[in-house]
A and B are shown apart, each in its own frame.
Chain A
C-alpha cells in the first residue's frame, strides 16, 4: 500500500523488481513489468487521484499458472485503460504530440490487462504477464 504520490513510484518499482526476481524471471521481462506498473500507478496518481496523496494504491502480486499478476486496487472514478485507443505513432511523431503513452507502453509490455470497477468507487486493475 502506498500513498498516491509520484514520489513513491520508485518504491513501487523496487517492490515489483524484488518480487519478480524471487521468481527467477528474466531481467528483460522484469523491466517490462516494472514500467507497466509504473505507468499504471502514474495514471492513477495523476488522473484518478489528481495528485491528492490522501488517496492510496494497494499493490498485490501473485504468481499462478505461469502468470505474474500485479493488481492495483484504488478508489476513485472508473477509467478503463483497455478501452483507450492506441495512438498511431507515425501520426504522433509527425504532429509532435505529447503524453498519452503510458497505456500503449502497458499494452505492449503485458500480455493481458483487466479492469474492474465496483460500486461505489472501487477499482481493480490487473496487469498480467505470461512467464
Chain B
C-alpha cells in the first residue's frame, strides 16, 4: 500500500485534491510537488479533501503554510475540507483555523470559492 497518494479533480479553474494515507516529514514532499505543479499551470484555487488522510504532522502543516500566501496573492486560496476529528485537532492545536478556511464538506468549500469570485 502506498504511504501517501494524491488524486485530483478539475472543475473549471478549481482543483480538488484528495489526500490518502499519511502526511509526515517523509511524504510531505509529494504534496509540495503537487502545489508546484499547480502553480506552474497557474491554478490557484485549491480545495483539499482530507477524507482519506489518516495522519498529519507539522511537516504537512508546513506545506499549506508554504503556498497559502502565493495562492491568495493570485486571487486563489487553499480551502480544507472533510477532516476527521483527529486531523482537525492537529490543525486546531496551533490555531490554523485562524488562517485557513476549513469546511465540513467539499461542497461547502466549493460554494465558498464561488461566493468570493
A107 to chain B, nearest CB (A): 10
B: contact size bracket? 20 to 34
Within 8 A of A (CB), among B54-104: 55, 57-59, 61-62, 65-66, 68-69, 86, 89-90, 93-95, 98-99
User: A101, B94: Cβ atoms under 8 Å?
Assistant: yes
By beta carbon, the residue of chain A nearest B55 is A13
User: B95, A35: Cβ atoms under 8 Å?
Assistant: no
User: A101, B58: Cβ atoms under 8 Å?
Assistant: yes
Task: Pick the residue among B3, B68, B69, B98 that contacts A10 (CB under 8 A).
Answer: B3
A38 to B98, CA, bound (A): 25
Binds B, one of A39-47, A64-72, A76-84, A111-119: A39-47
B2-37 interface code vs A (CB 8 A; 1 in, 0 out): 010000000000000000001011100000000000
Q: Is the contact region of chain B dominated by helix, strand, or loop, or is it mixed?
A: helix
A99 to chain B, nearest CB (A): 6
Assess whether A98 is interfacial by the CB under 8 Å rule: yes
- For B86, the chain A residues whose CB sits under 8 A away are 31
Assess whether A7 is interfacial by the CB under 8 Å rule: yes
User: A108, B99: Cβ atoms under 8 Å?
Assistant: no
A4-24 interface code vs B (CB 8 A; 1 in, 0 out): 011101100100000000000
With contact pairs A13-B55, A96-B68 given, residues A101 and B98 touching in the complex (Cβ less than 8 Å) = no
User: B58, A102: Cβ atoms under 8 Å?
Assistant: yes
User: A98, B98: Cβ atoms under 8 Å?
Assistant: no
User: B93, A98: Cβ atoms under 8 Å?
Assistant: no
By beta carbon, the residue of chain A nearest B61 is A101
User: A97, B65: Cβ atoms under 8 Å?
Assistant: yes
Assess whether A90 is interfacial by the CB under 8 Å rule: yes
A101 to B57, CA, bound (A): 9
By beta carbon, the residue of chain A nearest B96 is A93
A89 to B68, CA, bound (A): 16
User: A42, B59: Cβ atoms under 8 Å?
Assistant: yes
User: B57, A7: Cβ atoms under 8 Å?
Assistant: no
> B-side interface residues toward A, CB under 8 Å?
3, 22, 24-26, 55, 57-59, 61-62, 65-66, 68-69, 86, 89-90, 93-95, 98-99
